[in-house]
Structure 1
Amino acid sequence: MSTKIMADIQIQNPILPGFNPDPSICRVGNDYYIATSTFEWYPGVQIHHSTDLVNWTLIARPLNRPDLLDMRGNPDSCGIWAPCLTHSDGRFYLVYTDVKRHSGDAKDVHNYITTCEKIDGDWSAPIYINSSGFDPSLFHDDDGRKWFVNMLWDYRPGKPKFGGIVLQELDAKSLKPFGPVRNIFHGSELGMEEGPHLYKRNGYYYLLTAEGGTEYNHASTLARSRDIAGPYELHPLTHIVTSRSNPQAHLQRAGHGDWVETLEGETFFVHLCSRPLRNRGRSPLGRETAIQRLEWRDDGWPWPLEGDPTPRVEVAPPTGLDVSRTPQPREQHCDFSSSQLPIDFQWLRMPYPEELFSLTERPGYLRLFGRESLGSLFRSALVARRQQALCYTATTTLEFEPEHFQQMAGLVCYYNSRKYHYLYVSHDEQLGRCLAIMSCEGDANGHARYPLGESPIALPDGPIRLRADVQFEHLYFSYALSNDDWRRLPFKLEYSWLSDEAGTGAGNNFTGAFVGMAAQDLAGTAQPADFADFHYQELS
C-alpha cells in the first residue's frame, strides 16, 4: 500500500447517494462495510463495501429468504429499520428490525440477529431477540460479553413515546437474551432518543444515539459512562453532528449514525442526511449516507472538526492511502441477458420473486407477471432502482399486448403506494391498445388521477419505448414507436411529490424515489409484460 495521499482527492458527500438511511459501519482488516435500511424493499438491508472510504460498491442484500424476511402486508415505510452490522469472533453479525406497524400509538416491531462468516454468503436463520422497540444494536465487549440495546417504545397516554434506551445481555454463544432489562439513557432535552450504538475506549463506554426525529430537527447525541449500565454524561456539545441550527447547510436532517476507526487510528463518522430541493424543501432522494471526521481530544471525547457539528460536503480521506475516485455521474444499461437481476434493482415486500418476474421465461427480457395494483401492500410486480441524482433520464422498451382495461404495464417513478407517476400501456374498448399517465400525489386513501388529459393515446401493436426525464422538481414523460423520435407528452408533472415530506401523513414517510418497470392485471390472469432493456443516466 502506498503511503502517499493525493491532495486533490476528497471524500464527496453523500457517499451513498439516494435512499440509504440509518448507516451502520464496521471495518474488517482493510475493508469497510456499511449497512443501511431498506424498509419495504426486498431483499432487505443494503451492504456497501470500500477500501478507502471514498469509493463504495453495493455488494449484498443479506435478507433474501422467507425465513429471514417476509414483508407481505407491511405498510409503507415499515419493514427493515436501522440495521446494525458488526464483526467479531470471525463472523459478521447483522441486527435488524422488521416493523409490521408504525402508525398510531403502538408499534409492532420485531428484532432479530443473523450471522455469517462471509459478507455476501448465506446468512443464518434469524434469532429472535425482542419486540420492545426499534433501532436495535449489538455491542461486543472486550471481556467477551455481548450486549443488546434498543430504544423503548411506550404507547401509554401521557408518557413519552420514546421511553429511553434499554440494555440487556445476550448469551455469547446462543445469542439469546438473559438477565435484567435496564433503561440506561433518557436522552438530552431534544428528546426522541433512538438509534443507539455502544463503543468502548480507555475505560469509557460511549453511547451514541439519534434524537429530534428524522426530519429537520435531527441530531446525533453522544454520552459516556464508566459503567455500561450508566449513568451517562452528555458530550460538551451534546450533539456531535446536526444541521438543525443551520438551515443553509447543503446536507440537511443530519443525525442517526455510527463510527469506525481506521488501521491508523483515525475516527470517521457515518450518518444519514438529505439534500432537499432548494425551491420545494422536499427530498426525492430520501435520506442518504454521508461521512465526517472526528478527532479525539485530551478530554477523552471525540469532536467534529473545529468543534462545528454541521456536516461537511468534502472530507479528507484516511491518511496513508493512494486514493482515486470512481467517475461520476452514474450510468446503467441493462439488457437483461443474465439470469440474475442486476443488484441495483429491488422489488416490494415479496420473498417469492418468481411470482412477480422472470429472467429466464423469455431469455433476454425481464418478464413481469401482471399482479396487484401499485397501491397493494402484498403482491406488486414492480422492479425498480433508486434515484441517486436530482436530475436523470430513464428509458425502457416494452412489449405488451393487454386484452382489457384491467391489464397495464409501463415505466413508473415511485415513492410508495400513495405517491407515484406512471406512464403505462393498457387497453380501451374504443381505442384498443393505448398509452396513458396515472398519478397519485399523496392522497391519504391512495386515489390516483388518470388518464391525464382528455383521453389515452391510441397505439399500434409492437414494441414501445418509454422515457422519464427528471429535472429537479419536474418530470416529463415521452414515448417512441419503433425507431421514431421521442414524443414528449404535454404534461409537466410535480416530481417533488415523490419525497418524504409531501402528502398526507408525510411525517411517517422514510424512504426515497425509485424508477422502474411495473405490470398489473387486476383480473388475476397474470398477463405478462416483457421489458427488453432499462437505461438510467444521471445528469447531475
Structure 2
Amino acid sequence: MSSIPDERTTIQNPVLRGFNPDPSITTFRGDYVIATSTFEWFPGIRLHRSPDLAEWTTIGHALDERIAFDLAGIPDSGGVWAPSITVVDDRIWLAYSVVHTMDGDDLDARNYLTTSDSLDGPWTEPVFLGSRGFDFSFFHDEGRHWLVGVQWDHRPGRPSFSGIVLEEYLAEEKRMSGDPRVIFRSDGLVEGPNLYKINDTYLLTLAEGGTGWNHGVTAAQAPTVLGPYRRDPVSAVLTSRDAPGLPLQKAGHGELIRRPDGALFLAHLAARPVLHEGSRYSTLGRETCIQKVEIDGDGWVRLVAGTHHARTLVPVHGGSGGVIAPTEARPDRVVDDFDGQLDVARWSSLRRSPSSFARIISGAGLEMVGGQSSSSLFGQSLLAQRVTEHRMSAEAVVDAQPTTTRQSAGLVLWYDTQGWMSLQVTRADGAGRIVQLVTRTGDTTTLVAETEAPRGPVRLRVDLDGPDAVFSVAGVGAEPKALGAPQAAWKLSDDFGDRLRFTGMFAGIRADDLDGTGWSATFPEFSIHHR
C-alpha cells in the first residue's frame, strides 16, 4: 500500500504552469510523479513530484549528457515528445520519442526506453524501441509489457495516421517482439494512447482533435488487450472545443492515476490563452492540469463534475461543483546571482548542455561563451526559464565588452528560431557599445530601436502584460527607461503563424559570437517575477 498522504486539499489548475505539456503520471515510493515533454530544450523530460496531487515540485530531468543525449539539428518543436513514465518492481520505466523530422508527410521519430531505481538517476543507456511513430506508452499486465502508440504512414495520398498499434516488449531480451497489431483505427488523427485494465476490461484512452483548440480525450474498451476495441459512445471525456470562453482551453492528452483509497484522477494538458484583438494566443504553451474522474456503470471514465469541461479548482475529496474562475496567482520572484551550481530544474538550454558554453565564476556571475546565431539548430548559447503567467517581469545584468558588431549579449523572450525578442548589448559600427531591441517574426528580423549603452554593466528588463511586452534599459542602480514601443508578445505563441508549434514562451539570457572567436559575456544577476 502506498504511503501517499490522504490530506484534504484542493487542486488549483494548472498544477504545472507554463510550458509543461503531455503529462505522464505514476506513483513511486510514496509520491506522485509527472513527466512532461521538453521538445528541443535541454535537459530532456522534466520530472515533477507531489505528495498529494495538489502541491508540485520540479525536481529535475531524466535526459542529459550522462546518457549521451543529443539534440543537435533537431527542428523547432521536434525533439522529445510525450514521455511515458511507469513503475515495474520498484523501478522506473521512462519511454519517449525523439522526433528528427516533421516535414509534410514525413515524420522521423526514434523511440527509446530508459530505466532507473531513483528519480535522481542514474538512468540506463536507452534501449531502441523502433521508429514506427510517436506517443508510445507502456502497459504492464500480468508480467507482460506492452507498448502502445501512433503508427505513421508516410506514403503520398494516404492518411498519415494509420492506427494505434500494440506490440509486446520482451524485457529480458531488451527488444520488441516484432509482432505489432493495429488495435484501433479512426478517420481522424488520434494520439497519446494509454492502456488500463479496469474490472477485467481493457480501457484505451486517446487524445483526439489535434493539440489545438479542438483537442480532447476519448476512449475505447475491449475484453482482451488485443481487442476488439469499441469506441466510447460519448464524443469526448474531456474537451473545451465547445466552450471557447473557459479559462482552460485545448484540454486533452490525459493519463489516469488511482489514489490508494481508490479515487481516480486524470492528468491532462490545457492552455490559458491571452486575447489580442479578439483572437486567442497560448503564449505560455500547454500546461498540466488534474481532474477528478470516476468509472460509470458501463466502465467508461467520466469527470465527476458531470461535464466534459476542465475545471480550474478541483476538490480532492467530495463535491462536484461547477467551473470556478481562476484565482490570482501567488507572487513569485526568483533571483539568481549565480553563486553555486546552475539550477537545471529551472534553467533550460537549446539543444545542447549548458556545460558546453556556460560556467559560474565565483564573485562575478555566470560567464557565457558566445554561440551561433538565433537561427542555429546546433550551437546557440541560450539559457532560459519558462514564463508561467501572463504578467511577468524579468531582468538581467550583463557585463559585456563586444569588440565587433557580430558579438552581442543580453536578455531574450524566446519561443523558437522564428519567434523571439532580444534586448542586447553589442558594438556600434564606430567606437562604443549600444543596446539594440531586435525581434524575429517568421523569416523577418527587425531592428526595432537602439540607444547608447550606459557605462559599466547594463541592466536589461522586460515587462510582459498579457499580449504586450515592454523592454527597458538602465545602468546598474539607475531607473530603467523603455526602448521602443510595446512589442507583440502574442506572436510568441503556439497559435501564431501556420507552422506546427508545440512549446511555449521562455525568458532568459544569451550570448552570440558569430565569428566563433571564443568571446564571452558575464551575467552577474538574473531575476524573474511572475504576478
Q: Give the TM-score of the pair, scaled to structure 1.
A: 0.93
Correspondence list, 1:122-271, <5 A: 122-141=122-141, 143-187=142-186, 191-271=188-268
Distance 1:431 1:495 in 2: 33
Secondary structure, counterpart of 1:128 in structure 2? strand
Distance 1:411 1:60 in 2: 24
- Determine the structure 2 residue equivalent to 1:529: 521
Deviations 1:476-505 (A, max 9, x none): 0111113111112231101101101113x3
C-alpha contact 2:364 2:522 (8 A) present in aligned 1: no
Distance 2:307 2:329 in 1: 30
How far 1:342 sits from its partner (Å)?
4.6
Distance 1:342 1:128 in 2: 26
- 2:521 partner letter: A
- Determine the structure 1 residue equivalent to 2:324: none
Distance 2:174 2:87 in 1: 14
- Determine the structure 2 residue equivalent to 1:349: 351
- Determine the structure 2 residue equivalent to 1:471: 465
Deviations 1:263-295 (A, max 9, x none): 111000011111111333101100111111111
Secondary structure, counterpart of 2:69 in structure 1? coil
C-alpha contact 1:76 1:417 (8 A) present in aligned 2: yes
CA 1:248–1:460 in 2, change beyond 3 Å: closer, same or farther?
closer
Alignment pair present for 1:517 and 2:509: yes
Deviations 1:411-441 (A, max 9, x none): 0000000100100000012351110111012
CA 1:29–1:201 in 2, change beyond 3 Å: closer, same or farther?
farther
- Determine the structure 1 residue equivalent to 2:85: 85
Distance 1:70 1:519 in 2: 21
- 1:285 partner letter: L
CA 1:494–1:178 in 2, change beyond 3 Å: closer, same or farther?
same
Correspondence list, 1:391-410, <5 A: 391-410=391-410
1:333 to 327, 332, 335: 335
Distance 2:206 2:147 in 1: 14
How far 1:49 sits from its partner (Å)?
0.3
Alignment pair present for 1:73 and 2:70: no
- 2:169 partner letter: L
Deviations 1:223-244 (A, max 9, x none): 1111111111122313211111
C-alpha contact 2:371 2:513 (8 A) present in aligned 1: yes
CA 1:69–1:254 in 2, change beyond 3 Å: closer, same or farther?
same
- Determine the structure 2 residue equivalent to 1:424: 424
How far 1:331 sits from its partner (Å)?
1.7
C-alpha contact 1:475 1:493 (8 A) present in aligned 2: yes
- Determine the structure 2 residue equivalent to 1:307: 306
Distance 1:29 1:425 in 2: 48
How far 1:172 sits from its partner (Å)?
2.7
C-alpha contact 2:7 2:52 (8 A) present in aligned 1: no
CA 1:421–1:3 in 2, change beyond 3 Å: closer, same or farther?
closer
Distance 1:457 1:3 in 2: 56
C-alpha contact 1:27 1:262 (8 A) present in aligned 2: no
CA 1:194–1:534 in 2, change beyond 3 Å: closer, same or farther?
same
- 1:528 partner letter: S
- Determine the structure 2 residue equivalent to 1:291: 290
- 2:257 partner letter: V
Distance 1:4 1:260 in 2: 15
Distance 1:486 1:246 in 2: 41
Secondary structure, counterpart of 1:496 in structure 2? helix
Distance 1:124 1:240 in 2: 36
Deviations 1:301-333 (A, max 9, x none): 2211243111111101257xxxxx998232211
Distance 2:82 2:189 in 1: 15
How far 1:374 sits from its partner (Å)?
1.2
Secondary structure, counterpart of 2:355 in structure 1? helix
CA 1:2–1:419 in 2, change beyond 3 Å: closer, same or farther?
closer
CA 1:41–1:2 in 2, change beyond 3 Å: closer, same or farther?
closer
- Determine the structure 1 residue equivalent to 2:323: none
Distance 1:326 1:438 in 2: 32
* Identity percentage of aligned residues: 38
Distance 2:92 2:62 in 1: 11
Range that drifts further, 418-427 or 239-248: 239-248
C-alpha contact 1:331 1:536 (8 A) present in aligned 2: yes
- Determine the structure 2 residue equivalent to 1:322: none
Distance 2:329 2:496 in 1: 32
C-alpha contact 2:78 2:99 (8 A) present in aligned 1: yes
Alignment pair present for 1:19 and 2:11: no
C-alpha contact 1:256 1:272 (8 A) present in aligned 2: yes
Secondary structure, counterpart of 1:377 in structure 2? coil
Distance 2:182 2:191 in 1: 13
Distance 2:467 2:107 in 1: 33
Secondary structure, counterpart of 1:354 in structure 2? helix
Q: Give the TM-score of the pair, scaled to structure 2.
A: 0.94
Distance 2:118 2:306 in 1: 38
Secondary structure, counterpart of 1:374 in structure 2? coil
How far 1:169 sits from its partner (Å)?
0.5
- 1:63 partner letter: L
Distance 1:538 1:326 in 2: 11
Unaligned runs of 5+ in 2: 319-326
How far 1:173 sits from its partner (Å)?
2.2
How far 1:345 sits from its partner (Å)?
0.5
Distance 1:307 1:236 in 2: 16
Give the aligned length: 519
C-alpha contact 2:113 2:128 (8 A) present in aligned 1: yes
- 2:272 partner letter: R
Q: Comparing both structures, which one devotes a greater share of its residues to strand? A: 2
Deviation above 6 Å: which 4+ runs of structure 1?
1-4
Distance 1:306 1:396 in 2: 44
C-alpha contact 1:262 1:318 (8 A) present in aligned 2: no
- 2:356 partner letter: E
- Determine the structure 2 residue equivalent to 1:115: 115
C-alpha contact 2:25 2:256 (8 A) present in aligned 1: yes
Secondary structure, counterpart of 2:177 in structure 1? strand
C-alpha contact 1:52 1:317 (8 A) present in aligned 2: no
How far 1:90 sits from its partner (Å)?
1.5
Deviations 1:181-229 (A, max 9, x none): 1000014x5x211111111121111111111111111111111111111
C-alpha contact 1:129 1:176 (8 A) present in aligned 2: yes
Distance 1:104 1:297 in 2: 41
Distance 2:4 2:345 in 1: 31
- Determine the structure 1 residue equivalent to 2:322: none
Correspondence list, 1:411-450, <5 A: 411-430=411-430, 432-441=432-441, 443=442, 445=443, 447-450=444-447
2:486 to 489, 492, 499: 492
- 1:514 partner letter: F
1:459 to 453, 462, 465: 453
